[in-house]
């Protein structure tokens, strides 16, 4: 049976249920699967036989006998098939090929050209996937699915990039074009939501039903998981907290509105604030380091200066943290999540942003429980979105839902 065939096999809910039970509890016996899934033993035996034939599952060691014959245990055959994930950011794309447990086999990163059309972007992605498969040495027929975490507004059910602000492109038919090109099932999601799903399955969201995962970069996005499922909203804009209005009389945002959270707490604003302070003649080692860096002030550089005790660097990061804290306090009062996960480039400043952020939540959220809301950094870091893109495929395989 071909791999695409075995993916089709998962179109049965019960097969996915058994596969996911083996994923979460393996090595596990057929009898134990029947007990946990409440399926009848003959049903389990039949479906397991199909899974064994598809090579997605294999028999492993012998279990402990409770009297009588020792049961044969089943486990996922992690490297029987592979998944491709892509993180298409504003400036660069990252691609990985992983096994069925999201373990990375090979990773590639490429800067995106500055001028892109819908066609040239799609061609860029095709070339990247081709190169990845070729360099991995893994036959294409073993690739089970392709997941894409795309920046901007995404229609996930159609697999279309509705609007990609960094490229100024609209209506990018990602799923259609990639599926036609590779004949591999393809899933597309907004990058912040992909990151959220990745954290939920393989990161700091494991075990929590309701989470908000915030992606701090040039823009500020978030993904929301409600009762273990991603929440999209009617038009896929749920979670766009960067455009939460925090200042009625604020400056103009890229979205056309005024005073959005990302106009006061986005990555670019952080650098602008530093630049402004320096022009007033304020002393800071940021200036010296930037001079060595060809005059460029980066987020990384500001963080480094904060570590070295520079007061301006510490001050601007804290201000950003407090403003993000305002946005997150609003989110906590609105949704009352189990946990908030903070990721993205700016999250690398760690405690310099996170502590002031938590201070605002701890003093301003509605109730004592809300003020204690668990706020942690992303576990997957730079690979969060790309692992999330892989998880789009794995979720469909293991839970028969997307």
Which residue ranges make up the site for Zn ion (CB under 5 A)? 243, 253, 255, 257, 260
Q: Give the CA distances from residue 202 to residues 127, 196, 388, in Å, rounded to whole numbers and listed in that order.
A: 28, 10, 9
Shortest spacing between CB 259 and Zn ion, in angstroms: 8
* Peptide linkage before 74 cis (omega within 30 of 0): no
- 176 or 247, CB closer to Zn ion? 247
Shortest spacing between CB 244 and Zn ion, in angstroms: 9
253 vs 264: CA distance, rounded Å: 10
- 117 or 257, CB closer to Zn ion? 257
Residue with tokens 């001079």: 291
Handedness of CA 32, 33, 38, 42 (dihedral sign): negative
Which two structure tokens, joined as six digits, stand for 40?
Answer: 């009848």
Please state the separation of Cα 29 from the chain's center in Å. 33
Shortest spacing between CB 276 and Zn ion, in angstroms: 21
- 255 or 278, CB closer to Zn ion? 255
Shortest spacing between CB 106 and Zn ion, in angstroms: 37
Which two structure tokens, joined as six digits, stand for 127?
Answer: 């070339």
Shortest spacing between CB 243 and Zn ion, in angstroms: 4
- Can you count the helices (H) and strands (E) in the chain? 15, 16
- 183 or 257, CB closer to Zn ion? 257
- 252 or 283, CB closer to Zn ion? 252
Shortest spacing between CB 232 and Zn ion, in angstroms: 19
Q: Which of 131, 303, 98 shows the shortest CA–CA distance to 201?
A: 98
- 76 or 261, CB closer to Zn ion? 261
- 260 or 394, CB closer to Zn ion? 260
Strand partners, 108: 95
Question: In sequence order, what DSSP letters do the residues of 59-114 get, joined into one string?
Answer: EEEE---SSSSPPEEEEE-TTSSEEEEEEE-SSEEEEEEE-TT--EEEEEEEEPPS
Shortest spacing between CB 122 and Zn ion, in angstroms: 27
Strand partners, 28: 74
């Amino acid at each position: 049976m071909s791999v695409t065939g075995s993916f089709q096999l998962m179109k049965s809910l019960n097969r996915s249920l058994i596969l996911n039970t083996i994923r979460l509890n393996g090595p596990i016996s057929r009898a134990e699967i029947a007990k946990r899934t409440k399926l009848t033993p003959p049903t389990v035996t039949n479906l397991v036989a199909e899974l064994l034939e598809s090579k997605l599952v294999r028999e492993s060691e012998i279990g402990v006998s409770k009297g009588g014959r020792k049961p044969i245990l089943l486990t996922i055959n992690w490297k029987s098939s592979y998944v491709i994930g892509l993180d298409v950011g504003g400036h660069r794309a990252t691609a990985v090929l992983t096994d069925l447990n999201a373990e990375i086999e090979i990773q590639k990163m490429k800067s995106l050209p500055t001028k892109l059309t819908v066609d040239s972007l799609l061609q860029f992605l095709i070339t990247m996937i081709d190169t990845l498969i070729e360099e991995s040495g893994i036959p294409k027929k073993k690739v089970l699915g392709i997941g894409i975490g795309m920046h901007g507004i995404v229609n996930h059910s159609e697999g279309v990039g509705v609007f990609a602000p960094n490229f100024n492109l609209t209506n990018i038919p990602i799923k259609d074009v990639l599926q036609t090109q590779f004949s591999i099932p393809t899933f597309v999601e907004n990058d912040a939501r992909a990151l959220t799903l990745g954290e939920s399955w393989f990161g700091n969201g494991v075990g929590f039903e309701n989470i908000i995962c915030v992606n701090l970069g040039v823009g500020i996005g978030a993904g929301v998981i409600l009762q273990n499922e991603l929440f999209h909203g009617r038009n896929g804009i749920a979670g766009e907290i960067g455009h939460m209005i925090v200042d009625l009389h604020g400056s103009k945002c890229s979205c056309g509105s005024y005073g959005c959270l990302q106009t006061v707490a986005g990555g670019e604003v952080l650098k602008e604030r530093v630049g402004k302070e320096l022009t007033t003649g304020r002393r800071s080692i940021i200036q010296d380091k930037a001079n060595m860096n060809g005059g460029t002030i980066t987020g990384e550089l500001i963080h480094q200066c904060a570590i070295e005790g520079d007061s301006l660097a510490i001050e601007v990061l804290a201000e950003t943290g407090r403003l993000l804290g305002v946005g997150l306090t609003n989110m906590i009062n609105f949704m009352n999540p189990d946990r908030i996960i903070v990721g993205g480039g700016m999250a690398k400043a760690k405690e310099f942003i996170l502590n002031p952020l938590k201070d605002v939540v701890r003093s301003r959220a509605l109730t004592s429980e809300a003020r204690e809301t668990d706020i942690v950094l992303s576990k997957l870091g730079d690979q969060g979105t790309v692992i999330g893109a892989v998880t789009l495929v794995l979720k469909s395989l293991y839970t028969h839902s997307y």
